[in-house]
């Protein structure tokens, strides 16, 4: 299966992480709607079709934390899909290098695709071509596989983990509230591994996840359906195949539902590399778009689903490949020598992107 998304099917899980989620008024997929309400995750009254939604929570205070000195900085590589696996393979080569080089233990999670064998063949050939010597594939065929001792041990040993594309709802149906999800968080937090995700794997990086929705010509209320993701980006939600599939309106619609979150749009064969508390970098062939609705005025509470939205005061940043910025509170020495701090209009958004997630407990 290609990196293209499919309409997600409802999934079920047994438990919820005991953590506090950001307030939300967005619609969520039916399978998780009852979980969220029962768990009391601070989501308030869920906005169903034809029902009035409560006012969104005010944006967070304009300050951000950073990783304490001496703590390993987890690295996220968020790829917009369709990365080159045949010619120069720049993004896959960079994933290998960030993870430790040719001898790094690289593990690929294929739980999003309905063709794990095909994904393993394609990525196996590509990684062999860039010189990776230790590559293996973790086929999550069902949710029970995410608790298997062998798979958990592989995650504990991995230097880099790559989540392939497919269907993000399928992926979350297998990973949500499982030991494998906990191991991924621990690997980034405690060992500072590189976690990469492409297409569906990129969409699942955030706490509030864009699960599905058409690429409308103009922003429309609730044109994007939101679900729960892996929560490696607690302050943002991610869209992929961004420019190629003309998804700016979809991302704006999602930000109108969740103005407390940044919207991140990643183009194909492009990656956003986030090193928690330290720096961001755009790699690959195209650009990353950041939508900041912190100061936005919207009519989202006044119109009905599918009606057009008025969005005033939206801040939009477009970062081309090769652009890199460090956290304003981090010194520009060592491997950050020569890396600039962001311009003032970008500083607030960058600080939020670099904020680590809360510790996950299930």
Element (H, E) at 195: strand 194-198
Whether the Cβ atoms of residue 199 and residue 282 lie closer than 8 Å to each other? no
Active-site residue, selected from the candidate residues 241, 249, 275, 281: 241
Q: Is 183 a catalytic residue?
A: no
Element (H, E) at 105: strand 105-109
192 Cβ contact list (under 8 Å, min separation 6)? 72, 73, 74, 75
Q: Is 268 a catalytic residue?
A: yes
Q: Which residues pair with 318 in a beta bridge?
A: 289
Alpha-carbon span 284 to 287, nearest angstrom: 8
Active-site residue, selected from the candidate residues 268, 275, 281, 355: 268
Alpha-carbon span 349 to 292, nearest angstrom: 7
Q: Which two tokens stand for residue 255?
A: 């930000």
Q: Is 225 a catalytic residue?
A: no
* Beta-carbon-side half-sphere exposure of residue 21 (alpha carbons within 13 Å): 26
Compute how many other C-beta atoms are within 10 angstroms of the C-beta atom of residue 297: 12
Active-site residue, selected from the candidate residues 64, 99, 177, 199: 199
Catalytic residue ranges: 199, 241, 268
């Amino acid at each position: 299966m290609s990196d293209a998304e499919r309409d997600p099917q409802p999934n079920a899980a047994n438990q919820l992480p005991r953590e506090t989620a950001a307030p939300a008024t967005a619609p969520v997929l039916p399978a998780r709607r009852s979980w969220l309400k029962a768990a009391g995750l601070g989501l308030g009254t869920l906005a169903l079709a034809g029902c009035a939604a409560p006012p969104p929570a005010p944006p967070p205070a304009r300050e951000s934390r950073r990783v304490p000195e001496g703590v390993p900085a987890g690295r996220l590589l968020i790829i917009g899909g369709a990365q080159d696996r045949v010619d120069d393979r720049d993004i896959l080569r960079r994933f290998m290098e960030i993870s430790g080089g040719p001898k790094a233990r690289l593990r690929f999670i294929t739980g999003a695709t309905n063709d794990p064998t095909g994904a393993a063949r394609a990525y196996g050939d590509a990684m062999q071509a860039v010189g990776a010597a230790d590559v293996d594939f973790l086929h999550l065929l069902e949710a029970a596989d995410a608790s298997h001792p062998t798979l958990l041990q592989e995650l504990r040993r991995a230097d880099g983990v790559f989540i392939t594309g497919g269907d993000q709802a399928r992926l979350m149906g297998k990973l949500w509230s499982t030991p494998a999800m906990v191991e991924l968080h621990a690997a980034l937090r405690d060992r500072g591994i590189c976690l990469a995700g492409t297409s569906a794997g990129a969409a699942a990086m955030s706490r509030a996840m864009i699960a599905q929705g058409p690429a409308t010509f103009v922003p429309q209320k609730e044109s994007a359906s939101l679900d729960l993701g892996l929560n490696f980006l607690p302050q943002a939600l991610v869209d992929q195949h961004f420019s190629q599939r003309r998804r700016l309106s979809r991302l704006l619609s999602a930000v109108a539902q969740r103005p407390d979150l940044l919207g991140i749009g990643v183009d194909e064969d492009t990656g956003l590399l986030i090193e928690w508390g330290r720096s961001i970098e755009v790699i690959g062939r195209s650009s990353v778009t950041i939508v900041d609705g912190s100061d936005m005025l919207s009519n989202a509470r006044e119109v009905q689903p599918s009606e057009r939205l008025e969005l005033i005061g939206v801040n939009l940043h477009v970062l081309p490949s090769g652009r890199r910025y460090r956290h304003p509170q981090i010194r520009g020495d060592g491997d950050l020598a020569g890396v600039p701090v962001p311009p003032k209009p970008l500083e607030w958004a960058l600080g939020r992107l670099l904020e680590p997630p809360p510790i996950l407990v299930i």
